[in-house]
């Protein structure tokens, strides 16, 4: 039982960090795209066909897309979920530290209460902790899980890079 609490606590730390990173990147991308959209609106006053004959349509689609994206990001509440996950893993840590080797019925009830208090962490959070943990684990990560985590991180970095540079790609593709 104590081992389960410890793994849950560590996986929820990873989940809180993942949600905080998602909050940061979603907000940064919204600001970046808003800046790009505003800059495009200003430039098109002087050069109405800067992106070709459909500059006005491209700018309108970008503006509407940005509005929809901002509503979606807001509905995900990454920051609030990260804060709730952090509170939960701190409570799990306190339970783990206070527990003896033989859990009492109160410990089990408290653990179940803490499990239900917030959304569950994902498998990726558990695997990420086990892959990057320096020390002996009762459930060490397999080579396949290590591959999964490295592939996940590479894919995430690639997608984020693509999202950050996409406005430049739009400019390059539409240049006369």
Kindly report the three-state secondary structure assignment for every residue of the chain. Answer: CHHHHHHHHHHHHHHHHHHHHHHHHHHHHHHHHHHHHHHHHHHHHHCCCCCCCCHHHHHHHHHHHHHHHHHHHHHHCHHHHHHHHHHHHHHHHHHHHHCCCCCCHHHHHHHHHHHHHCCCCCHHHHHHHHHHCCCCCCCCCCHHHHHHHHHHHHHHHHHHHHHHHHHHHHHHHHCC
pLDDT at 174 over 70: no
36-85: pLDDT as tens digits: 999 888 988 998 888 788 888 888 888 999 999 999 999 999 999 999 99
110-134: pLDDT as tens digits: 999 999 999 999 999 999 999 999 8
Q: What is the pTM of this model?
A: 0.89
């Amino acid at each position: 039982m104590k081992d389960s609490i410890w793994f849950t606590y560590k996986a929820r730390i990873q989940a809180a960090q993942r949600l905080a990173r998602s909050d940061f990147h979603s907000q940064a991308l919204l600001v970046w795209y808003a800046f790009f959209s505003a800059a495009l609106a200003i430039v098109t006053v002087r050069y109405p066909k800067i992106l070709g004959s459909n500059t006005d349509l491209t700018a309108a689609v970008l503006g509407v897309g940005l509005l929809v994206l901002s509503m979606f990001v807001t509905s995900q509440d990454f920051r609030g979920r990260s804060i709730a996950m952090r509170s939960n893993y701190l409570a799990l840590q306190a339970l783990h530290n206070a527990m003896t080797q033989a859990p009492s019925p109160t410990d089990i009830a408290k653990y179940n209460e803490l499990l239900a208090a917030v959304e569950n962490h994902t498998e990726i959070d558990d695997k990420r902790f086990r892959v990057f943990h320096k020390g002996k684990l009762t459930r060490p990560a397999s080579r396949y899980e290590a591959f999964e985590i490295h592939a996940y991180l590479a894919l995430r970095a690639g997608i984020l890079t693509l999202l950050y540079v996409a406005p430049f790609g739009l400019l390059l593709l539409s240049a006369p």
